[in-house]
Structures are given as structure tokens and as C-alpha cells.
Structure 1
Amino acid sequence: TFAQRRYQQYTCYTVFFISIEMCQIADVLIRKTRRLSLLQQGPLRNRILVVAIVFQVSIGCFLCYCPGMPNVFNFMPIR
């Protein structure tokens, strides 16, 4: 039905958004470990980076699971 297709479309929007977030986190970790590995540098050495990653993940979770997001951003919760 049309409602099922709309639900699937909104879920695809959400999955695409989360995949972009994951790629951005991977990019920042790749840029950080260009010369030394993550364990040699110390994963918690740059506290601003850790806070930024946690903030980005929390914003993503908020946008995916907050009630009312299907009306605002066309996002549906991922099962």
C-alpha cells in the first residue's frame, strides 16, 4: 500500500543519514591516524574530538528516535 511505501521511504532517509554520520566519524578517525595508529596516539588524547563524536552520535539518535521526526525531517525509527 501507499502507507507502507511511505514508511519504507522514510526509513531509507534515516538509514542514509546514519550512514553519512558513520562515514564522517570514520573520516575523522582516518585523518587523525594518518601517521601513527590509534593505539599509539591514544584514543582519548584529543578530548574535543571525542566530545564531538559523542555529540554527533547523540544528535543522530535524537533525530532518529525523537517523536515527531516523521513530520519534520521525514525520519522513521530504525528497528
Structure 2
Amino acid sequence: MVEKDDKRTETLRLNLLNNSAAYLEELKEKREARLWKADELPGSLYDAIYGLSKSEMDKIRKNYDFKNLSALNNKNWPKP
């Protein structure tokens, strides 16, 4: 009985390991796709900022210590 449980546990561990490896690969692909967005050239500053997510805009705002910009949302901006 113990041998059966050990083999079953080993099989479950291998499946878990394979599934986690596949999941990590999927996360990596999604992250790379997000980081390497295709842009049209020549681009404008508006187009570059419009393509950023809210969290990316927050990081830029905090790094450069811009004040009173935390409520901005680039999806509400009118297209020039």
C-alpha cells in the first residue's frame, strides 16, 4: 500500500512540476509581449504615453517626482 501511495505521489509531483513549468513559460511569453510592443514609426509622445498602463505611468510619475498627476488616466485623454 505504501508503494502505491509513493508512486501516486511521485506522479502527482511530476504533473505539478510540468504544469508549473508550462505556466511559467506562459507568463514569460506574456511579459515579453507586453515589454516589446510594436510601435509605428515615426511615433509621437502622445502615442508612446497612450500605450502605457496605469501602473507604468505611476512608476514614471514616482521616479521623476511629478506632483498632482496621480489621478490622470491616459485612456480618458482626447486623441489630438
TM range (shorter): 0.3 to 0.5
Which is bigger in relative contact order (C-alpha 8 A, separation at least 6)?
Answer: 1
- Rg: which structure is higher? 2
Normalised to the residue count of structure 2, the TM-score between the two structures is 0.43
More helix by share: 1
